[in-house]
Amino acid sequence: MELKEYLRQRLEELVKLKAESLEERPVADYIISWAREKGFEVVEDNAGKIAGSNAGNVIVRRPPRGKDKWVMLCAHMDSVKLSGDVEYVFEGDVMKSTGKTILSADDRAGIAAIMYIFENADKLGIDVGLEGVFTIAEEIGLIGAKNLTEKLNSKVGFVLDSEADPGSIDVVAPYHDKFEAVFKGKASHAGVAPEEGKSAIVSAARAIAAVEWGRIDEETTCNVGTISGGEADNIVAPSCKVTGEARSRDEKKLMELMNRIENAFKSQECEVEWRHEREYDGYNHYGCELESVFKEAAQAVGVEFKWVPTGGGSDTNVFNARGVKTFNVGIAMKKPHTNEEYIDLSELAKSTEFLIEILKRI
């Protein structure tokens, strides 16, 4: 079947499956029965049990043909929250949500493209082994990729989960930390004995005011996300919780920024219980030796190869940190996570062809 028509049929089936994060079972079953029907080895790992999902990550394999090399192809099975059944219309090749909820082309479009590549790999002259990794719970913190329990054969991989145009690959992504600070004050009657209390809210406010937030520089950002605390207007607030995040493409800058925030928070009158953790590691592919392969592949399908910097995280970050050199490939999905989500199937087909040309050369 012609590529674009294949993608259309698959996507129409895939977007009808309801699979919000931690409820990926319908998509997992769809992929597993497809893989069995086509004769590919398929396993489901234990990430679902660890993460509390009704499905694990699904790994599908098609062994190498003559070449001793495996390449991972990854897409996530979950979608963000739906506000109803997915409904779409076609305007030419553009498949778009009718506006009631998301389309969930993010990331079913990636799944459809990977299925096509698996089914047609022999015919297309792809000699490397293909390792399809379909993850759970990407949208709520890359949970499936972080908890992958299956050992992978691949040292290099491609994630199909970028909004960028055909021929584009994310080149650099930030390191991302999050923090939670609980200010411990002392309750007291606000009218009768305010001097006996210590306001956690006032300490939190001073701490927040002491930090510069927003864009710190071209590659570094931070944000106070939530604040909650206090009990009543007539009580000096005994507790106040502040949460937020910081990101930078430069790990050292991120560590310095987190230290600044921590110091500011710890220099207030109230004591603070401070916790911060790495959400995911960043990566940087500038100077990568595969650049010439990507350029040739783009030329072969008539698109321009572009490295694009990104400020977001994806499963790509997790696999790179695990030692699989992984690239997030543009599949031209537009306005993901909104009710205006759409995808042009001729663009998705171009992106798929670009990846096929890479796989033939890698």
- Contact positions toward Zn ion, by CB under 5 A? 106-107, 161
Nearer to Zn ion, 64 or 312 (CB): 312
Instruction: List, as one string, the DSSP characters of 276-304.
Output: EEEEE--EE-TT-TTHHHHHHHHHHHT--
How far CA 32 is from CA of 58, 65, 75, 132, in Å, comes to 7, 23, 14, 11
Least separation in angstroms between residue 113's CB and Zn ion is 13
Tokens of 338: 């909104």
Give me the residues paired with residue 343 across strands.
95, 333
| Residue 80 Cβ vs Zn ion, minimum distance, rounded to whole Å | 9
* Nearer residue to Zn ion within complex by CB, 190 or 308: 308
Contact 103, 96 (CB under 8 A): yes
Residue that has been written with the tokens 């979950």 in this structure: 78
CB of 5 to Zn ion, least distance (A): 24
Looking at beta carbons only, is 77 or 204 nearer to Zn ion? Answer: 77
Smallest gap from residue 106 Cβ to Zn ion (A): 4
Closer to Zn ion by CB, 106 or 344: give it: 106
For the bound state, the minimum distance from the C-beta of residue 336 to Zn ion, rounded and expressed in Å, comes to 6
Nearest CA among 252, 79, 94, 264 for reference residue 174: 252
- Name the maximum alpha-carbon separation found in the chain: 84
Nearer to Zn ion, 161 or 344 (CB): 161
- The tokens describing 65, both together, are 């043909």
Q: How far is the CB of 161 from Zn ion (least distance, A)?
A: 4
* Three-state DSSP state, 326: strand
Q: How far apart are CA 92 and CA 106, in angstroms?
A: 20
C-alpha pair distances (Å), 76 with each of 4, 98, 233, 320: 21, 23, 46, 16
Cβ 209 to Zn ion shortest distance, Å? 36
Measured from the CB atom, is 102 or 242 closer to Zn ion? 102
Angle at 176 between CA 130 and CA 336, to 5 degrees: 60
| CB of 161 or CB of 177, closer to Zn ion | 161
